Amino acid sequence: MLQKILQSGTVLFIALLTLLPFQLAAQQSDHILEMIILTREDGSVYILHNTAIPLSHGFLVHRKVENGEWEKLTETPVFPVQNGYQLERRLGPMFTFIAEELNRDDPQGIFLSLRAQTIQNTITHAAIPELARELGRSYTDYDAPIGSQVSYRFEIVNDLERPTGQIIEGSALITPEKPIAPTAVQAENEGRRITLDWQFPTPEDRPETMNTIRFRTFYRDVESGAVEDVTNAILARTLGDRDFRKNFNVPRLEREYEFWVEAVDISGQPSDRSEIIRLLVTDNIAPAIISGVQSSLTDDYESDITWPVSPEIDLAGYHVYSALGEEEEYTRLTDELLPPLQTFYRHADPIPGGQYRYAVTAVDENGNESELSNPTHIYIWDSTTPDPVSGLNAEFDNDQKFVSLNWNEPADAEQLRTFQVLRRQIHPAAGGLYDQVNQTALLDGTIVDTGYGADGFREGVFLEYGVVAVGRNGNRSDTTWTEIQIPVLTPPDPPTSVQTRMRNGESVQVTWNASLSGDVTNYRLYRQETGSEETVLLNESGRGNRFFRDSSIELNREYVFSITAVDSVGNESVPTLAEPIATHRLHPPERTRNVQAISTEEGVILQWQILDDSQVKGYRIYRSGIATGIFEPIGEAGEGELRFIHPESEAGQWFKVFPYDHTGREARTAVAVQAVRR
């Protein structure tokens, strides 16, 4: 304990001395002889200095009040003890305590070590006033003038009582003080072992506590009234700490005790008692933990738990606890204590398929229960298979783009570990393996499937979903299946191009290239006559048929044909338009017949005949100066007109009349006719 004092109190005392008017700390290279002056509550002044008096030397004490003269307080020198044996006789039990704490048995060695000029010894002398007195480190003035500024001088003398010239001086205002009492005292017990806690302010909190260096602890037996000082060591205060603790034993259980703490300053002066704490000290120590607990499984899948007999003298019995699976908390199985000699327990109704942990505690006659024993593990086998789910339904949310699945849970749902939700694309086929939708345990009868990563779902595909119930024992139910098609919400791409041509002068042949979309099921063919707002659906064909012949056309008309692609859910693409096509016969019109050219005063009059005017759109008139020359156009006649007058022509010139159809094609030949007069 003394070593602990030297270690824990060092920082405190250095700070304590530093904050006082006079510095007491030792400096090895340039030793300053200083002192602490403390006025006690009774008016006596305790002076503590930090100088090792040389062996065989002593000191005289002088006092000066205010600015007065020095007066001698000691008529003869005070000589400290000169060796360890003197110190041992003077201190008595205190020396024995110091020797035990220093783990030394040679008085002279102890004496020399305590005289050393060290910070540790400075603290020891401050904590043990009796030791400081015997080593010449302190002096008490019992007649100091209260309220005055008083100076003290220690004059060192040799063995002939002659001054050596070494002086220790200090000054202080003589103001009585007393340590403040500790606060927030608390006491608790573990059997006869008492833990006493209290608080005391730091010098920064309360500067007036600077001279307080240690504590004393006491208890009183309420029944007998006996008071016991249980400090049994120097309980030093430590710098910066506000919380302190002391452990000790009381002699008896089932007794009521009072506890308190006193603070002690460097002169040994105690504070008033702290708050007194009364505590009934009972036997609250639990029995020792039971070890060697074992378990086994019976043929009926019940658990047998066994353990050794507890050696506790006041044992009242046992309790058995269990925990299932990964549960942290144990549940007690026994409603009443098992007798001390019964070291067997059968758990008759464990849940099949459960991994159990069992533990045992011992309980004494005061109700104190030990900690849980070592756990023993056992698995309760379960061969039951869960019932399959029912009512499995899958719906696609067009807005959120996910599949929502729900199902009815089986009757034994509380025995399930999880549901496993499986998914596979079945059209277009994408292999035979299933993906598991839920990656963690699922105990609700619903789940949302957002598809394949960031891509989600591909429109138009068919998916198969299955749900399996998995029991706590790992057994699996039959799989319940359902199918769903992901809606196609985006129209397909249109055909890339459309081609039209006349066939046999009677119909229009329409062909087109396929759409690039893979889910197209049909194509729709539309026709619109130029100049009309009406569009006619001519045909709807399967995705493999991209050809159609329109025989319902009327000749000599202009039409626009268009194609759209239709997917499996009826989405229709924008149309792809073909170039306009004019309908006509396969061959140009037949030539005119019986052409006559007559020159008159009005000009040349041309007349002719035509066998079939059904495809004739009009007639073009040509003229040349000779029958074999180049014929130049001079005019046209409209559809149904068989006569043309040209005022600028005259007799002798040659003429040809060519009929033409709606496409502008002319007859292949025409007879040249010379104009004559009549």
pLDDT for position 321: 97
* pLDDT tens figures, 254-305: 999 999 999 999 999 999 999 999 999 999 999 999 999 999 999 888 999 9
What average pLDDT does range 83-96 have in this prediction?
92
33 in the same domain as 164 = yes
196 in the same domain as 310 = no
625 in the same domain as 565 = no
111 in the same domain as 22 = yes
Is residue 226 in a domain? yes
> Tokens 């949310």 sit at which residue?
397
Confidence label for 146 from pLDDT (cuts 50, 70 and 90): very high
Distance of CA 310 to the CA centre of its chain: 45
546 in the same domain as 600 = no
Is residue 588 in a domain? no
For residues 448 and 550, give the distance between their C-alpha atoms in angstroms, rounded to a whole number. 51
Confidence label for 663 from pLDDT (cuts 50, 70 and 90): confident
b/e sequence 40-63, b meaning 16+ C-beta within 10 Å: beeebbbbbbbbbbeeebbbbbbb
183 has a pLDDT exceeding 50:
yes
* pLDDT tens figures, 468-513: 999 877 889 999 999 999 887 888 999 999 999 988 778 899 999 9
Is residue 492 in a domain? no
Q: Indicate the SS3 state at residue 6.
A: helix
Strand ranges (E), 433-519 = 435-436, 446-449, 462-471, 480-485, 498-503, 507-512
Confidence label for 238 from pLDDT (cuts 50, 70 and 90): confident
pTM for this one? 0.52
Is residue 178 in a domain? no
Is residue 516 in a domain? yes
Task: Provide the mean pLDDT of the chain.
Answer: 89
Question: Is the Cβ–Cβ distance between 348 and 333 less than 8 Å?
Answer: no
For residues 460 and 514, give the distance between their C-alpha atoms in angstroms, rounded to a whole number. 18
Confidence label for 242 from pLDDT (cuts 50, 70 and 90): very high
Question: Is the Cβ–Cβ distance between 23 and 15 less than 8 Å?
Answer: no
Question: Is the Cβ–Cβ distance between 495 and 524 less than 8 Å?
Answer: no
Is residue 273 in a domain? yes
Peptide bond into 428 cis (omega under 30): yes
629 has a pLDDT exceeding 50:
yes
Of 450, 485, 520, which residue sits at a domain end? 485
Supply 480's token pair: 């319940």
Is residue 587 in a domain? no
319 in the same domain as 248 = no
Question: Is the Cβ–Cβ distance between 189 and 279 less than 8 Å?
Answer: yes
CATH code, 515? 2.60.40.10
- For the chain, the domain total comes to 6
Q: Please give the helix or strand (H or E) that residue 170 lies within, else none.
A: strand 163-173
> Tokens 């007195």 sit at which residue?
133
pLDDT for position 29: 33
27 has a pLDDT exceeding 70:
no
What average pLDDT does range 25-47 have in this prediction?
71
Closest CA to 621 of 610, 607, 637: 637
Q: What is the CA radius of gyration of the chain?
A: 61
pLDDT for position 582: 86
> Tokens 């220790």 sit at which residue?
168
Question: In terms of C-beta density within 10 A (0-12 exposed, 13-18 middle, 19 or more buried), how is residue 337 classed?
Answer: middle
Of 561, 582, 603, which residue sits at a domain end? 582
599 in the same domain as 568 = no
What average pLDDT does range 534-560 have in this prediction?
90
149 in the same domain as 116 = yes
Supply 472's token pair: 């706590």
569 in the same domain as 615 = no
Question: Is the Cβ–Cβ distance between 511 and 499 less than 8 Å?
Answer: yes
Of 485, 513, 548, which residue sits at a domain end? 485
Supply 607's token pair: 């007349």
Q: What is the DSSP string of 13-63?
A: HHHHHHHSSS-----SSS----EEEEE-TTS-EEEEE---PPTT-EEEEEE
11 has a pLDDT exceeding 70:
no
1 has a pLDDT exceeding 50:
no
> Tokens 């039209």 sit at which residue?
500
For residues 494 and 372, give the distance between their C-alpha atoms in angstroms, rounded to a whole number. 76
Is residue 288 in a domain? no
77 in the same domain as 46 = yes
659 in the same domain as 535 = no
* pLDDT tens figures, 394-434: 999 988 889 999 999 998 888 899 999 999 999 888 888 99
Instruction: Residue 228: give the domain boundaries.
Output: 183-281
18 has a pLDDT exceeding 90:
no
155 has a pLDDT exceeding 70:
yes
Supply 546's token pair: 């991209």
Q: Indicate the SS3 state at residue 5.
A: helix
550 in the same domain as 643 = no
